[in-house]
Amino acid sequence: MSDANYLKNIAIVGASGNVGTSALKHLLFTNRFNITIISRPSSTASFPSLTIKKGSYDDRNFLHDAFSGQDAVLFALGFMAMAEQTKLIAAAAKAGVKWILPTEYAGDGMNEAMMAAVPIFQPKVQARKQVEELGATYEGLKWIGIATNPWVEFSIRMGLYGINFEKNTATLYTDAGPFNQSTLEQVGLGISRLLSLPVENATNPRASLQHYANNFVYMSSFIATQSRILQAVQRATGTQDSDWTIDRSATIEQWIAQAHEAMVKGDRMAAAGLTFAMYMGEGKGGDYQDKAVEDMKVLGLHDEDLEEVVRKAVEAGPMKSPF
């Protein structure tokens, strides 16, 4: 296939964040892309030997210059910066960018029930709709969503799975089920391999960007239950059930109801809790293994070692939730 059938110029917005850092590392390792970092003037992040364009996201001329000539834009913005994405997507489309990877890195965006149930997913839904609407004006414009489900390392360290290894307490929900989870390393590698695919592939259509146009690619490090994760945490800490206080009576449905009540009162942590309830609840959408298996084959990704990932998370120590 010709070079014209592959992406060459990639812009990243949010390159100094968790997802951006991992993606940038793996994109650079391929040695096949021209990378441009787009950031605000106040950014102090350093990217030696890369093209860096700094300017106000309210400056249309700056944005047009920054996005011009780019084949794709990878957005890796934090949740609090999501409001900026709307103007950036519009500017990228106007500048001629054909592929937008919006800030997703969460649940299965094609699962309408999950999207409707979680308010903090709505900006992600709106970003995809925006790209599709702009596609009517700017021919060839497409989005690709990256489903990751929760970040394993952070979720364990923050106790977001209902497992607190600092206090040796756990809540194992009776109606929880297996759910997919990802590490930053796995997703960064997956992004680099996704963007390395040909735009079109007559021999193997699934192994092409066109297959994922206005669709999701499903990445995962492994699929596991709460119980399986708790067992790995116990091995990493040298403990057993008798050392822990474990509640086995709570339900996901109770968690969801409590989260809704708390959200009405302005509790931001409750919104994150609702997200995890949907990830972990049996039949709520957190199990996208059938989709991930096929996409992992295309990207040449393999399951990671759950025990090793958990051990490293525990060794890194607990961390405070940002919510």
Mean residue pLDDT of the chain comes to 96
For residue 1, the model assigns a pLDDT of: 45
Per-residue pLDDT tens for 129-156?
999 999 999 999 999 999 999 999 999 9
Relative to beta strand 99-101, strand 72-75 is: parallel
Q: Are 229 and 310 in contact (CB under 8 A)?
A: yes
Token pair, residue 195, equals: 């963007």
Q: pTM for the complete prediction?
A: 0.96
Q: How far apart, in whole angstroms, are the C-alpha atoms of residue 174 and residue 250? A: 6
Range in 75-79, 133-137, 221-225, 286-290 the model is least confident about: 75-79
Per-residue pLDDT tens for 16-70?
999 999 999 999 999 999 999 999 999 989 898 899 999 999 999 999 999 999 9
Token pair, residue 3, equals: 């070079």
Q: Using 50, 70 and 90 to split pLDDT, how confident is the model at 271?
A: confident
